[in-house]
Structure 1
Amino acid sequence: MADIRAIIFDKDGTLFDFEATWSAWARSLLLDLAAGDTARAERLGEAIGFDFAGSRFAESSLVIAGTPGEIAEALLPHVPGASPLTLVARMNALAAVAPQAEAVPLAPLLGALRGQGLRLGVATNDAEGPARAHLDTAGVLGMFDFIAGFDSGHGAKPSPGQLLAFAEQMGLRPAEVAMVGDSRHDLHAARAAGMAAVAVLSGIAGSAELQPYADVVLPDIGHLPGWLSTRGGLGRVAETAA
């Protein structure tokens, strides 16, 4: 079992609480596209697996692991006159200012991980621009050695391109990297890349859905130090650091 020398995180549902962040974004987007018509916003929500009235995502919602382009394609038939490019631009603009709720206090946790020599990255199916804006707002942008969105040139999860690009840039073997995420897309990408697959329950998916694809299922990333302490090497982080 290789020592863990780097961690690459999913963003939404992993670093940030999914519902707290993206429910507000979805409501804003759908009302914008519906020109304020709530009945139409509810119908648009159905196209992407979002209950507008209840402000909740279905477990199968495209928003959970899909790219902005995929979400735009689902909405396009319901927004006459729009184009994929204009829809993605509107989504990204709203995403960049979406309120972010940290899954756990990020700065102390990430600081502790970096203090142990771990290299840190982010692999998200969001666009890279909004991802950087979210991390900057949280005050942790500078703690990451690598940030990739679906538009960064490495593909999107569940393909392993983002993860392999991180390992290559860090000069590490994939087996020395842990991928941490809240969806099957994240875990499938980890498996395809040959990395440790760590699931967290701060997203929409439950333990029963994630367990078959994960090496370990944790309540949230605050439990990473305890898991890493069992792996040895640079991953031996004091549990109190979280």
Structure 2
Amino acid sequence: MPVSDTIKAVLFDRDGTLLDLQATWAGAFYFIIRDMAGGDESKIQTLADYSGYFMDSRKFDMRSRLLTGAPSDYCARWAEICERPYGEDFMRDFTDLSLKYCDVSPTFLPGASQALDALKHAGIPMGIATNGTESSARRQMAHLGYEDHFFAVIGYDSGYGAKPEAGQVLAFADQLQIEPGDVLMIGDSLHDVHAGKAAGAMTLALPTGAASSDELLAEADQVISSLADLPLMLGLPLPVSAPQARPSLPL
């Protein structure tokens, strides 16, 4: 069955799906890594190497564990490198720095804002499910002027677990009081696809981040090249801007 036939709500991954990974986070993680390492150059380089991050060019290796994993997946090793206990204090510092730098340069991928506008115009509820923090996702959407587009924003720290587990998707469906099978989960990684499938949702993938088209085609219900294609796929009209008044000619 085509994914467009039965959906009642759409749940988006954030990084690599709505937001350009490199443009949004590469600059931010330069500062996050330096601050977490306390400016110690040896620790900075070790954190960067472990994380798949290039300090000189301020870019991610696209195989970086930071691009798909939740902070809880890598921060235990970060704490070890920083010679600090891994626990609430360390995670609080990481979360605070993520929030501090998350809006350095949040950047939508091509077609993302138009897709969000089309879904909102059609009255389809939307949410975000991210393996980052809820607070950073909310701040980024506010920075971009899109916070009112989302019924729910769910992070790894929102109490429902992290992808590829099903908790975030199930929580979104539960909050809307719909069946998980009525949700379309959209993401760029196998974590997103697996989370959607584990919850019983439909899955749509994009090769715009952490996984290739071939990897996604083997797992997702459908793959599209860009969110610019989403409104057409769902049979939605693109919102039309209000006509501009014709300027008066001088007499």
1:189 corresponding residue in structure 2: 195
Aligned with residue 117 of structure 2, among 104, 111, 117: 111
TM-score by length of 2: 0.84
Distance 1:145 1:81 in 2: 38
Distance 2:93 2:224 in 1: 34
Q: For residues 173-219 of structure 1, what are the alpha-carbon distances to aligned partners after superposition, in whole Å with 9 as ceiling and x for unaligned?
A: 22221101111100000111111111112213221222211122222
The count of residues paired between Structure 1 and Structure 2 equals 234
Aligned with residue 225 of structure 2, among 201, 208, 219: 219
Question: Structure 1 residues 240 and 209 mapped into 2: Cα distance closer, same or farther (>3 Å)?
Answer: farther
TM-score by length of 1: 0.87
Q: Which has the higher mean CA deviation after the structures are superposed, 151-160 or 204-213? A: 204-213
Q: CA deviation at 1:70?
A: 2.0
Tell me, what secondary structure is at the counterpart of 1:180? strand
Tell me, what secondary structure is at the counterpart of 2:47? helix
Percent of residue pairs bearing the same amino acid type: 33
Runs of 4+ in 1 over 6 A off after TM superposition: none
2:34 corresponding residue in structure 1: 31
Q: Which runs of 5+ in 2 are unaligned?
A: 241-251
Question: Structure 1 residues 80 and 9 mapped into 2: Cα distance closer, same or farther (>3 Å)?
Answer: same
**TM alignment of 1:150-229, pairs within 5 A:** 150-228=156-234
CA contact (8 A) 1:44 1:78 kept: yes
**TM alignment of 1:1-242, pairs within 5 A:** 1=1, 2-38=5-41, 40-96=43-99, 97-98=101-102, 99-104=105-110, 106-228=112-234, 236-238=235-237
Tell me, what secondary structure is at the counterpart of 2:186? strand
Q: CA deviation at 1:134?
A: 1.0
CA RMSD of the aligned region, Å? 2.1
Distance 2:53 2:155 in 1: 23
Structure of higher CA gyration radius:
2
CA contact (8 A) 2:43 2:81 kept: no
Distance 2:229 2:213 in 1: 15
Counterpart of 1:211, as a letter, is L
Counterpart of 1:238, as a letter, is P
Distance 1:55 1:204 in 2: 18
CA contact (8 A) 2:16 2:210 kept: yes
